[in-house]
Amino acid sequence: MILDDFLMRAALAGLGVALAAAPLGSFVVWRRMAYFGDATAHAAILGVALALAFDTSIFAGALVMSLAMASAVSSLSGRGFAMDTLLGVMAHSALAFGLVGVSFLSGVRIDLMAYLFGDILAVSRGDLAVIWGGAAGVVALLVWRWQALLTATLSPDLAWSEGIDPRREQMVLTLALALVVAVAIKVVGVLLIAALLIVPAAAARPFSATPERMAMIATAIAAAAALGGLAASFQLDTPTGPTIVCVAALMFAVSSVGHGLFARHHA
């Protein structure tokens, strides 16, 4: 079977995460939610610790804790705390509690680096089913709410006038973000998930005349980064998750320089 090849499984896992993360990353960039994505991802390590402690699914643990963190941040925002301060406190606290929690699991063998930086080469068929199922859920959610999400992102007042509740759309994004974190933890790890959300979308932005085009270009960049990073890490014997993010960062640099040169040439 072709899926018995670990490189093929890794490539499919990378593509699945790219498909989920890139369109959502466009909303993260438009709404300036980078710290929000970080906090949600960092909470996942606490979910991993709880899942191992209760001998349940890592995906379920990461999803529940990511949802809990995202919901807590959404409900606490605007209550006297500066958003960046609140996110910084909660993100690092969740990560610290998760790492401490893992240290108490003496009877469980755990490769902590795999959860922090990903272990795409160890993806199994079951993991692939979870990744692509989660990716399909995220894409379906975004397609279903696309126009409402765009309106709420553009102007909450305009959204209210059109009968759209911006708070509901924020919860849709929260759910999608938690799903992406839960499916991406195996591929790039909790410390790099935010980068995979933001970098492809930022690279796509200079070449996008419409929101839909930006989401599509970001998806293509994320997919190219996943496959390119996998190939580079195999050739150079480097950690795969960080290498994927490095390739995405190089594509962002090329995009920024290329757009700058194009704009100067046509000035």
pLDDT of residue 107: 64
Query: Bigger pLDDT: 247 or 119?
Result: 247
Task: Judge whether residue 252 has pLDDT over 90.
Answer: yes
The rounded distance, in Å, linking the Cα atoms of 148 and 126 is 34
Residue-number span of the structural domain to which 162 is assigned:
2-192
* d(C-alpha 120, C-alpha 127), whole Å: 10
Query: What is the predicted pLDDT for the residue at 232?
Result: 94
Q: Which amino acid is at 141?
A: L
Q: Tens of pLDDT along 1-58?
A: 455 588 899 999 999 999 999 999 999 888 887 777 888 888 888 888 888 888 888 8
Asked whether the predicted pLDDT for residue 100 surpasses 90, the reply is: no
| Listed ranges 1-15, 110-124, 244-258; the one with the highest mean pLDDT | 244-258
User: Quick one: average pLDDT of 178-202?
Assistant: 89
Per-residue pLDDT band at 104 (split at 50, 70, 90): confident
Count of domains observed in the chain = 1
The pLDDT, as a whole number, for residue 139 is 93
Is 100 contained in some domain?
A: yes
- Averaged pLDDT of the chain: 86
**Calpha distance 249→232 (Å, rounded):** 14
| DSSP string covering 59-116 | HHHHHHHHHHHHHHHHHHTTSSS-HHHHHHHHHHHHHHHHHHHHHT-TTS---HHHHH
Confirm whether 208 is domain-assigned.
Answer: no
| Residue 187 resides in a domain | yes
Distance CA 22, CA 133 (A): 16
Task: State what percent of residues in the chain have pLDDT above 90.
Answer: 34
Q: Is residue 171 part of a domain?
A: yes
Give the long-range contacts of residues 165-171, CB within 8 A, separation 24 or more.
169/145, 170/74, 171/71, 171/74
Q: What does the alpha-carbon distance between residue 254 and residue 19 come to, in Å, rounded to a whole number? A: 22
Q: Which secondary-structure segment (H or E) carries 14?
A: helix 6-30
Contact 128, 9 (CB under 8 A): yes
Q: What is the CATH number of the domain that holds 17?
A: 1.10.3470.10
For residues 128 and 9, give the distance between their C-alpha atoms in angstroms, rounded to a whole number: 7
The per-residue pLDDT for 267 is: 56
Return the number of other C-beta atoms located less than 10 Å from residue 96's C-beta: 13
**Residues 173/194, Cβ–Cβ less than 8 Å:** no
Q: Look up residue 210 and give its DSSP letter.
A: S
Neighbours of 108 (CB within 10 A): 11
Cβ 24 vs Cβ 177: under 8 Å: yes
pLDDT of residue 116: 84
Query: Rg for the chain (alpha carbons), in Å?
Result: 18
